[in-house]
Amino acid sequence: MQLNDLYKEIILDHYQSPHNRGRPPHADIEAEGSNPLCGDDVEIFVLFDGDRVKEVRFDGSGCAISLAAASMMSEVLEGKSKAEVREIGDLFKAMMHGEDVDLPEEMEDLEALKGVANFPLRVKCALLAWTTLEHGMANENVGGRVSIEVD
């Protein structure tokens, strides 16, 4: 168990200088996710341009892993179709559960989180943003803000 597997430089960069952090004035999807056991909270906002993601923004408070994962997610999803978003989400989840996955080249940042799989207690941190997004997309037709609690 190596600490460097967890706190890679790129993860710390995303944590300390997050990308796409903040609340947009309007969003097509607004979802909040929390891990009540840790006290981590994340809000995900998605703006679509037709079927494609125009912008993902996030806000919240949490540990380095959960916020870095949200920041990375917001970057890699830009321009993706809804089907692609689901696909990438599934790949990421599989990676977090220790499976060997081939991530598309432009998503190698995400690969930095691979080491989290060796820290079972932290996997939920890395998945919080993704699970929240997934929940938001599943309820897109319902409209309004959705929230989910994960353990």
Partner 1 sequence: MENGVSDEVGYDVRAVRQDFPILGIQVHGKPLVYLDNAATSQKPQVVIDSLVHYYTRYNANVHRGIYTLSEQATAAYENARARVARFINAPSPECIIFTRNTTEAINLVRYAWGADNVRAGDEILISEMEHHSNLVPWQLLAQEQGAELRFLRVNNEGRLMLDGLDVLITEKTRLIAVTHVSNVLGTINPVKGIIKKAHKYGALVLLDAAQSVPHMPVDVQELDCDFLAFSGHKMMGPTGVGVLYAKPHLLEAMRPFMGGGSMIRKVMLAESTWADVPQKFEAGTPNIADVIALGAAVDYLSDLGMANVREHEIQITQYALDQMREVSGIKLFGPWELQTRAGVVSFVLDGVHPHDIAQILDSEAVAVRAGHHCCQPLMRRFNVPATARASFYAYTTEEEIDALLEGIHKAQRVFGHAIERSV
- Work out which of 10, 38, 91, 117 binds partner 1, going by CB under 8 A: 38
The candidate with the shortest Cα–Cα distance to 92, out of 67, 73, 120, is 73
136 is a contact residue toward partner 1 (CB under 8 A): no
**Contact (CB, 8 A) for 23 and 43:** yes
State which of positions 6-25 bind partner 1 (CB under 8 A): 6-7, 12, 16
Please identify, using beta-carbon distances, which residue of 40 and 43 lies nearer to partner 1: 40
**Comparison of 19 and 122: residue with beta carbon closer to partner 1:** 122
Q: Residues 10, 47, 64, 101: which binds partner 1 (CB under 8 A)?
A: 64
Q: Which two tokens stand for residue 17?
A: 């200088």
Distance separating alpha carbons of residues 45 and 41, to the nearest angstrom: 14
Beta-carbon contacts of residue 64 (< 8 Å; ≥ 6 apart): 7, 11, 12, 15
Please report, as ranges, the residues that interact with partner 1 according to CB under 8 A. Answer: 1, 3, 6-7, 12, 16, 37-41, 61-65, 119, 122, 125
